[in-house]
Amino acid sequence: MRIVTPTSTLRDWSTSDAARIVKYADNPRIACHLRDAFPSPYTKEDAERFITFATGPGRHLYLAIDISGEAIGGIGISPLADVKHRTAEIGYWLAEPFWGRGIATDAVRSLVPVAFERMGMVRLEAGIHSDNPASMRVLEKCGFTREAVHKKAVTKNGRLLDEVVYVRFAEME
C-alpha cells in the first residue's frame, strides 16, 4: 500500500528499513510513550522481528512513514479480536528530528479512512499515556475525542501513569 500525505508517504515496510528503524527507534524519548513491546534499547534484531511481523499475515496494517525514501517512523492499525473485531487500535511514532512539522497528524489523518473504508472498522481507539500531550494533540487535530481516563492503568519505566483513551467512529448511516 502507498498513501501520499502532504508531508510524507505511508508505504509498506521492507527488510531494507531495518538499519533506519534502529537509527531512529533506539531513543528512550520515543519508547517511553509506547508499550514495552517497543524496546529500549532497540536493536537490529528487534527491527528485523518487527518487519517480519508487520509484513506477515494478519488483519493488521503497519506502514512506514517515509520521507525522501527513508523510513522516519511508523504508523499502524491493529484490529482487536472476537466481539471487538470492528474496533482497532491506532499507533504511531516518529523520529525525533522530524517532530513538530505536522507529519504524524498528516499520517493519522490519511490512515483513518483506510481503517474505516477498506478495513471495515467502526471504532478507532488509542490509549495515550497521561504524560504525552503531543500525541493527544495529534489525535484531537484528527477528529478524535477524549472518551475516558483509565486511572493508574499504565506502569512505564517504573512510573504509574493514567491512560487517556481517544476514539473516533466511522460515520454510519
Shortest separation between residue 137's beta carbon and ligand COA, angstroms: 3
Cα distance between residue 55 and residue 44, in whole Å: 16
13 versus 92: smaller Cβ distance to ligand COA: 92
Shortest separation between residue 173's beta carbon and ligand COA, angstroms: 31
3-state DSSP call for residue 39? coil
Among 130, 134, 122, 121, which residue's Cα sits nearest to residue 159?
130
Among 140, 164, 143, which residue's Cα sits nearest to residue 152?
164
Shortest separation between residue 28's beta carbon and ligand COA, angstroms: 10
Shortest separation between residue 57's beta carbon and ligand COA, angstroms: 25
First-residue to last-residue Cα distance in the chain: 28
8 versus 79: smaller Cβ distance to ligand COA: 8
120 versus 143: smaller Cβ distance to ligand COA: 143
46 versus 82: smaller Cβ distance to ligand COA: 46
Q: Label residue 117 exposed, middle or buried (CB < 10 Å: 0-12, 13-18, 19+).
A: exposed
Shortest separation between residue 139's beta carbon and ligand COA, angstroms: 8
13 versus 93: smaller Cβ distance to ligand COA: 93
Cα 63 to its chain centre, rounded Å, is 9
**Contact positions vs ligand COA (CB under 6 A):** 30, 33-34, 91-94, 99-105, 126, 128, 132-135, 137-138
